């Protein structure tokens, strides 16, 4: 290979360093918005974010296309944090039913800990709904729903069942829990533990039953 071709074929270290710097800076700006929203509430605008964070608006727009792009990135980051906390709780539980209860409990606890940040993140919606790979875009609802569907699919395949129901069940469970949690945040008529227990009791029979058989301890996804 000639020297010229070798130079052209070599990795562009400067481009890689710039990409890494850009991603790191985007992460810092997202963290700054999360901190301001957690402190000030979900109705905050860019002027308030810039003032509270000490970061001028043009700086944000060097790394994000516009306000919607920034807010969507914040929604993704918050959703990924919720997924990480929920996954850790599920992994620590033993039986499938305990995993379900632990996952619901971790989700509700994460929302209760910062309801304003949750409302801000959940309101960030992408303009289109599908990625090139066919999955729903990773907005807040998409990240949590897809993760739930994948966990359910793994349980079903492990039990030798058809995993075709995993996607509607995953998104259905997330929708149910989100709706109930939203209502509970507005009208906390019971403890968090009671809410989690009721939701688990509601979801588990359908999730645990094999087709054509009742749900009981002998028919769990294990």
DSSP 4-62: HHHHHHS--HHHHHHHHHHHHHHHHHHHHHHHHHHHH-TT--HHHHHHHHT--HHHHHH
**What pLDDT sits at residue 72?**
87
Digit-coded pLDDT (tens) for 158-215: 878 778 888 899 899 999 999 999 999 999 999 999 999 999 999 999 887 754 444 4
Q: Is 109 left (phi over 0), alpha (psi -120 to 50) or beta?
A: alpha
Buried (b) or exposed (e) across 125-145, using 16+ Cβ within 10 A?
Answer: ebeeeeeeeeebbbbbbbbbb
> pLDDT class for 135, splitting at 50, 70, 90?
very low
Which structure tokens are listed for 53?
């964070």
Digit-coded pLDDT (tens) for 95-129: 889 989 999 999 999 999 999 998 888 887 655 44
Greatest alpha-carbon pair distance for the chain in Å reads: 75
Average pLDDT, the chain: 82
């Amino acid at each position: 290979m000639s020297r010229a071709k070798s130079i052209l074929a070599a990795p562009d270290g400067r481009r890689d360093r710039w990409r890494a710097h850009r991603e790191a800076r985007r992460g810092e700006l997202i963290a700054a918005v999360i901190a301001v929203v957690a402190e000030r509430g979900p109705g905050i605008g860019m002027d308030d974010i810039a003032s509270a964070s000490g970061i001028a608006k043009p700086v944000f727009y060097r790394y994000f296309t516009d306000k919607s792009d920034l807010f969507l990135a914040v929604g993704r980051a918050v959703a990924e944090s919720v997924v990480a906390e929920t996954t850790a709780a599920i992994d620590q539980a033993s039986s499938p039913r305990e995993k379900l209860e632990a996952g619901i409990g971790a989700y509700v606890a994460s929302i209760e800990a910062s309801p304003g940040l949750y409302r801000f993140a959940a309101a960030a919606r992408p303009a289109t709904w599908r990625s090139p790979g066919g999955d729903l875009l990773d907005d807040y609802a998409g990240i949590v729903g897809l993760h739930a569907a994948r966990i359910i699919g793994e349980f079903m395949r492990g039990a030798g069942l058809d995993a075709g129901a995993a996607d509607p069940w995953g998104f259905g469970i997330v929708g149910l829990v989100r709706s109930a949690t939203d209502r509970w945040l507005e009208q906390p008529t019971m403890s968090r533990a009671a809410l989690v227990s009721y939701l688990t009791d509601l979801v588990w029979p359908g999730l645990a039953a094999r087709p054509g058989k009742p749900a009981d301890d002998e028919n769990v996804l294990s």
